Structure 1
Amino acid sequence: MLAIKNGRILTIANRIIEQGTVLVESGKIVEVGSEVEISVDADIIDVEGKVVMPGLIDAHTHLGIWEEGIGESGADGNEKSAPLTPQLRAIDAVNPFDQAFEDALKAGVTTVGTGPGSSNVLNGESIALKTYGHVVDEMVVKDPVGAKAAFGENPKVVFGKQEKAPYTRMAIAALLREALLNADNYLKQEHPEYNIKHEAVAKILRKEVPLKAHAHRADDIMTALRIAKEFNLDLTIEHGTESHKIAGYLAQQGVPVVFGPTMVSRSKVELKERDFSTAKVLVEAGVKLAIMTDHPVIPIQYLSICAGLAVKAGLDWQEALRAITINPAQILGISDRVGSIESGKDADLIVLSGNPLALESRVEKVLINGSLVVDNGKTINTNKELTD
């Protein structure tokens, strides 16, 4: 048993404990509170004067898929050979030895959603992973967590250069509808011949996974919403650069937004209105918000800085913390395990020197599944696997 005591605990579960204890056993949180009884044989980590909170979660990255310092040979995110590749699986591209996993750990990012890029109309399946481990299959929290689709500029540019569809936004929508209709017809057959593409799209139709719609412009977001309504799909908006323009409508439809990346230049037309104030507009309208880095677009270790910049632009600081903890956990469908400090959840915890959103604050300790993996800002236990 392990007791982390005397810290200011930000549970992200609607309470802050000014001087409390988190009790951990067998990789799970057993108890959290201000009057937790600690057994005499427990290991103790005294964190007096420090802040304790759940590990950070980034719902939209390409961690391990576009690898650090390797270049083209480590770029496995975009299969540009065809506009419809729903059968691709992120787990087959993730390299757990990517340097960025250690960067994530040192920054307190303990769980990520990672997946294919946005060159295609349908790009493949995304996955949720812990950021510690050497065997990707053992790092999985949930697989899959979504099916990636892309609207707007990216598929148009990629396939326009190849002189094949989609040249236009109309063709993107038509190709997606066609894939959904073909999969629906496949499901209606009594004894269909197995088709791996139709099987992947069928998961979207059966609501086993949401359609993760890459969409920056408001009109592209509306196209995604339109198609989701037509086929009765679960939907998340990924990026949402112009989502502030239709924030009320998104709230009315109950569609969450995984917002970002915003700490970047206006590198293409779709980013011309990028602004951190969009986060405030979305939350005030009632939209569930997660903040992303889109790593490697923004390096994964700057997730908390992105949240802090959203606060600077007007977002409430507690909402900003929710946007990098419980909200992404809920959007990824893994909030039963991670995202807050509550009994029964995985003991993924970080200890900070101060305010989690302050630039000067340091991540001093990181625990994943109750095991200390970062201590005094340095990774440890790098030669052993974590057990559930």
Structure 2
Amino acid sequence: MILIKNGTVLTMAGRVIENGCVLVEDSKIKYVGEEKDFEGVSEIIDAEGGYIMPGMIDAHCHLGLWEDGVGFEGADGNEATDPITPHLRAIDGINPMDRTFKEAYENGITCVCTGPGSANVIAGSFAVIKTYGKRIDNMIIKNPAAIKVAFGENPKSTYHEKHEMPTTRMGIAALLRETLYKAQEYMNKKENAEEDDDKPDFDMKYESLIPVLKREIPLKVHAHRADDMFTAIRIAKEFNLDLTLDHCTEGHLIADELKEEGYPLIVGPSLSERSKVELRELTFETAGILSKKGIDIAIMTDHGVIPIQYLPLCAALAVKHGMDEMEALKAITINPAKILKIDDRVGSLEVGKDADIVVLDKFPLDVMAKTKYVLIDGKVVFRR
């Protein structure tokens, strides 16, 4: 057993415990509370008056799919040869040996939702993984976690260059609808077939969309502009789908509407330039404006747009621009865990959850804060 003591425990479950401790047994949290002694402890970690918190979570990134400083050989995030590729799986492209995984966990990011980019209308499946390990199969928390779809500039520009559909927002919506209709028809025929001969021929693309149609996983929607978000919502309602709205760059302009709709929001990357037209409203105020409407948002890096280790910096800058401090901390811990539907395992320090724990010398959103220890699944993976 490992005892982490002598720190302020930010449980992210509604409690802040001064001079608290966390007890870890095997891979799980066994105790969280006021400091006390335990028998059978094999290692004591002294927080030295610092902070103890759950591992941070990035709800949208491309970690491991664009390898650091490699170029084309390490670029495995966009299969930009067909606008409809729901059958692609992130786990087949992620390289856990890329050094950015080490930069992630050494800076307290212990879990991410990572997957393909936004060149295609339907890009493939995302996976939720831990950031420590050598083999992706042993790092998975949830796979598939979502099917990525993209609206706006990225698929437009990708296929405009190829002189192929889609080159308009109408084309993007039409291709998505057409594919969902065909997948729905495929699923119904398959389920209603009384004999094997009546079943449709196997189609891997449509098979990949069945969990979406059954609301087992959401569509993960790349949308910056307000009109693209509304189109995504319109289509989701047509097919009775779950979705998350990722990026939400113009979310602050339609905050009341987004509050009313109630879909999960993942905001960012805000620490970047306005590199394209649909980013003209980019501001760090978005997260705070949406949060103050009572929406539980997540903040993301979109790594490698923003290096993964700057996730807490993004939250800190949201605070600088008006977001409540604890709400910003929730946006990189328990909120993404809830949005990704993995909060039974991670996102807060509670008994029975995975022992993904970070010890820091200062408050986590202090830009000078340094991680002293990082545990993933109860194992000390980093000590300064």
Q: TM-score band, normalised by the shorter chain?
A: over 0.9
Note the 1:214-293 alignment, pairs <5 A: 214-293=222-301
> Do structure 1's residue 156 and structure 2's residue 146 form an aligned pair?
no
Which residue is equivalent to 2:375?
Answer: 367
Counterpart CA distance in 1 for 2:69 and 2:306 is 15
Does structure 1 conserve the Cα–Cα contact (< 8 Å) formed by 2:212 and 2:241? yes
* Contact persistence 2:17–2:34 (CA under 8 A): yes
3-state SS of 1:295 partner:
coil
SS at match of 2:281: coil
Taking the aligned partners of 1:361 and 1:284, their CA distance within structure 2 comes to 26
Kept in 1: contact 2:47–2:360 (CA 8 A):
no
Match of 1:348 among 341, 348, 356: 356
Q: In the TM superposition, what are the counterparts of 1:55-204 in structure 2 within 5 Å? A: 55-189=55-189, 190=193, 191-204=199-212
Which secondary structure state, in structure 1, belongs to the residue aligned with residue 303 of structure 2? coil
Q: Deviations over 1:295-319 (max 9, x none)?
A: 0000001000000000000000000
- 8 Å CA contact 2:121–2:151 kept in 1: the answer is yes
2:310 is equivalent to residue 308 of structure 1: no
Deviation, structure 1 residue 48: 2.7
Q: Distance in 2 between the 1:286 and 1:213 partners?
A: 21
Structure 1: runs of 5 or more not aligned: 377-388
Aligned length: 376
Corresponding position of 2:15: 15
CA distance, structure 1, for counterparts of residue 270 and residue 348 of structure 2: 25
| Aligned equivalent of 2:305 | 297
Take 1:40 and 1:86, find their aligned partners in 2: how far apart are those partners? 49
Instruction: Look up the equivalent residue of 2:62 and give its one-letter code.
Output: H
- The secondary structure found in structure 2 opposite 1:249 is helix
Aligned equivalent of 1:27: 27
Identity %: 55
Partner secondary structure for residue 263 of structure 1: coil
Q: Deviations over 1:103-154 (max 9, x none)?
A: 1011110000100000010000000110000011001011011000000001
Counterpart residue number, 1:331: 339
Match of 2:196 in 1: none
Q: Which moved more, 1:31-40 or 1:89-98?
A: 31-40
Q: Deviations along 1:367-388, whole A, 9 cap, x unmatched?
A: 0011101101xxxxxxxxxxxx
Counterpart Cα distance in 2 of 1:345 and 1:149: 31
Q: Aligned partner of 1:72: which letter?
A: F
Residue by residue over 1:345-381, the C-alpha shift from the partner in whole angstroms, topping out at 9 and shown as x without a partner, is: 00000000101001111111100011101101xxxxx
User: 1:37 Cα deviation (Å)?
Assistant: 4.3
Q: Which amino acid aligns with 1:28?
A: K
One-letter amino acid of the structure 2 residue matched with residue 194 of structure 1: F
Alpha-carbon distance change, 86 to 41 in structure 1, aligned in 2, over 3 angstroms: closer
Residue 205 of structure 1 pairs with residue 213 of structure 2: yes
| Offset of residue 42 of structure 1 | 4.0
Question: Structure 1: how far apart are the matches of 2:354 and 2:382?
Answer: 17
- Give the Cα separation in 1 of the matches to 2:188 and 2:138: 36
How far the C-alpha of 1:286 sits from its partner, in A, is 2.1
Structure 2: gaps spanning 5 or more residues: 194-198
Q: How far is 1:2 from its partner?
A: 1.3
Could you tell which deviates more after superposition, 278-287 or 28-37?
A: 28-37
Per-residue CA deviation, residues 59-84 of structure 1 (Å, 9 max, x unaligned), is 11100000001111100111111110
Given residue 356 of structure 1, which amino acid in structure 2 is its aligned partner?
A: P
Q: Is the 8 A contact 2:59 2:112 kept in 1?
A: yes
- Quick one: which amino acid aligns to residue 88 of structure 1? L
SS of equivalent residue, structure 2 residue 319? helix
* Equivalent position SS for 2:69: coil
CA distance in 1, matches of 2:21, 2:58: 26
| TM-score normalized by the length of structure 2 | 0.97
- Quote the Cα distance in structure 2 between the aligned partners of 1:346 and 1:293: 23
The code of the aligned residue for 1:15 comes to R
Note if contact 2:47-2:361 (Cα within 8 Å) is conserved in structure 1. Answer: no
Give SS of 2:337's match: helix
Two-structure CA RMSD over aligned residues (Å): 0.9
Measure the CA separation in 2 of the matches of 1:236 and 1:37.
44
Shift, 1:36, TM fit: 4.2
Provide the TM-score with structure 1 as the length reference: 0.96
SS in structure 2 at match of 1:275: coil
| 1:247 and 1:287 in contact (8 A); partners too | no
Structure 1 runs (4+) deviating above 4 angstroms are none
Work out the CA distance in 2 between the residues paired with 1:41 and 1:13.
25
In the aligned structure 2, how far is the partner of 1:158 from the partner of 1:19?
54
2:3 alignment partner in structure 1: 3
How many Å separate the matches in 2 of 1:205 and 1:177? 12
**2: CA distance between counterparts of 1:140 and 1:164?**
36
Residues 234-266 of structure 1 deviation map (CA, whole Å, 9 limit, x = unaligned): 010010100111111111121111110010111
How far 1:46 moved relative to its partner?
1.8
Deviation at 1:43, TM superposition (A): 2.3
Displacement of 1:40 after TM fit?
Answer: 4.7
Bigger shift: residues 189-198 or 219-228? 189-198
Q: Is the 8 A contact 2:27 2:354 kept in 1?
A: yes
